[in-house]
Amino acid sequence: MDDGPLVLRDDDDGLTTLTLNRPDKLNALSPAVFVELRAHLDAIASDDSIGCVVLAGAGRAFCAGHDLGSIASAEKAPSKHFEPETVDALESLPQPTIARIQGHCYTGGLELALGCDLLVAAESAELGDTHGQWGLVPVWGMSVRLPERVGRSTAKEMMYTSRRIDGREAQRIGLVDRCVADAELDATVAQLTSEVLANSRGTNRIVKRLLDDGAQRARHDALVHERHMPHGVPDDMQERMRAGGR
């Protein structure tokens, strides 16, 4: 049985870090983990003081995927689609989100990471979709979000073969946005979050909504939608303009 919180939350001057906290299980995802994660996501979604969210894993892995033990024991989530809806909730957060990936990032763990806006990986990280290895099928978004990231053909190869790839290969195919030496992972994520937080939080939220809007529309409709400024302007626009954008 797990001791203590399964998902840790740390807040630091506008940055919230959520850490999957089952290091002895390589942060494998159980229904109980999703319950705690959803509670944090719901609280973060309505908190205007938060400007950026990092999702990480404790210990030597980001997340090894779905806890097969919880499948075997028939452990149930609160509702039928609770897990994929939690990934949707992560994707729908109004704040920019960053997945900090080290070690294993397999299957359900990769589906969770793909719910983030930006993915940063250590070069020794291993990423892959292993549904086929276990005779499982994706239900947490892999068949949609993976091809959005890497294209249909590359997604097919990854899904058909269950092949694991390292951080450098993941960056080459566009699965992650950045890959750095293991020793530089924390500093890279810290620098990226500081750059995000230096921007207008209002602008970042509006841009995220516009990008989501555009993904649901034909190109011309998306252009027209944007020019009508459907989400208004940030509250700090005038202040930042007077300060010269600083």
Domain residue ranges of the chain, discontinuous segments joined by +: 7-197, 199-242
Percent of the chain with pLDDT over 70: 97
The model's pLDDT over 126-162, given as tens digits with 9 standing for 90+, comes to 999 999 999 999 999 999 999 999 999 999 999 999 9
Q: Tell me whether residue 228 is exposed, middle or buried, using C-beta atoms within 10 angstroms of its C-beta: 0 to 12, 13 to 18, 19 or more.
A: exposed
Give me the mean pLDDT over the 227-232 stretch: 96
Q: Tell me if the domain spanning 7-197 has CATH number 3.90.226.10.
A: yes
Say whether 101 sits in a helix, a strand or coil.
strand
pLDDT at 58 over 70: yes
3-state DSSP assignment of residue 215: helix
Q: Tens digits of per-residue pLDDT, 158-179?
A: 999 999 999 999 999 999 999 9
Which whole-number Å values give the CA distances from 183 to 179, 188, 189, in the listed order? 11, 10, 12
Which two structure tokens, joined as six digits, stand for 201?
Answer: 């939080």
With H, G, I as helix, E, B as strand and everything else as coil, classify residue 75: coil
Confirm whether pTM is higher than 0.75.
yes
In the prediction, which pLDDT does 245 show? Answer: 53
- 219: tokens are 């190109």
Q: Does 181 have pLDDT greater than 60? A: yes
- 3-state helix, strand and coil shares in percent for the chain, rounded to the nearest 5: 45, 15, 35
Residue type, 104: H
